[in-house]
Amino acid sequence: ARYAFWCRRVAEDAVTLRYPICVTSCPTSNETQHLCVMPSDPLRKVRLPDYPTRVVHYSPYCWPVEGRKAQQVSRAYQRHMRNKGNVLLALPQNTLAVVPLAALWASIFGCIYFKLLERCVDFIVVVFVLGTTRLTFLVGIYELLMFWVTGEPAALAIGCFSILLGMLACRLFLTAEAKSALSMAAGCI
């Protein structure tokens, strides 16, 4: 269901705003019917005739086209919007002080983060490269297990390629330059 539809009240030219129902498309005539909740007894449902409605832009509601129903829904919508504004105006006076405090804390923690990042950049690079090679090995093992379970030749090829790629990355990583980066990163830990 994509839209909320307000059912017609029994024997009245008005809608039941309290119990909308979900519909897949908005009714466009009086010829269709929907199973609606009775306002007097919410546990009881009755088939009631629809009324012409339309969708306004991206609204999730079926808006009445006819005069009296449209006015009723419009008044309810305006009341709702006024209440929303009243809730915002009813916030305590010191509520807006939270925004500058949050900005202050964010800037303090941001400075600490960048200072640590500046000091530990080599360590972060090493952890990223080692994590990537380990992830490549895990993908290779997973694909080999999938080959063992399903017998799919593509899984065997991907598994072997991933493991070989992981081995090559480890071999390239364990050069003299990487060893010096590891020793520099040890001062950060």
pLDDT in tens, 7-63: 888 777 788 888 888 999 999 988 899 998 888 887 888 898 888 998 877 778 888
Give the residue, 178 or 140, on which the prediction is more confident: 140
Instruction: With CA atoms as reference, report the closest residue to 63 among 15, 1, 13, 18.
Output: 15
Answer whether residue 165 shows pLDDT above 70: yes
Distance CA 71, CA 21 (A): 20
Average pLDDT, the chain: 78
Most confident segment among 8-12, 43-47, 67-71, 76-80:
43-47
- Residue 95 has a pLDDT of 59
- Answer for the pair 20, 36: CB distance below 8 angstroms, yes or no: no
- Beta strands 33-37 and 3-5 are unpaired
- Beta strands 21-23 and 53-54 are unpaired
Q: What's the DSSP call for residue 12?
A: S
pLDDT in tens, 93-129: 565 666 677 788 888 888 887 787 777 776 777 777 7
Answer whether residue 84 shows pLDDT above 60: no
Instruction: With CA atoms as reference, report the closest residue to 20 among 34, 10, 31.
Output: 34
How far is CA 30 from its chain centroid?
A: 38
Tokens in use for 95? 């509520």
Answer whether residue 89 shows pLDDT above 60: no
Give the residue, 76 or 33, on which the prediction is more confident: 33
- Residue 18 has a pLDDT of 83
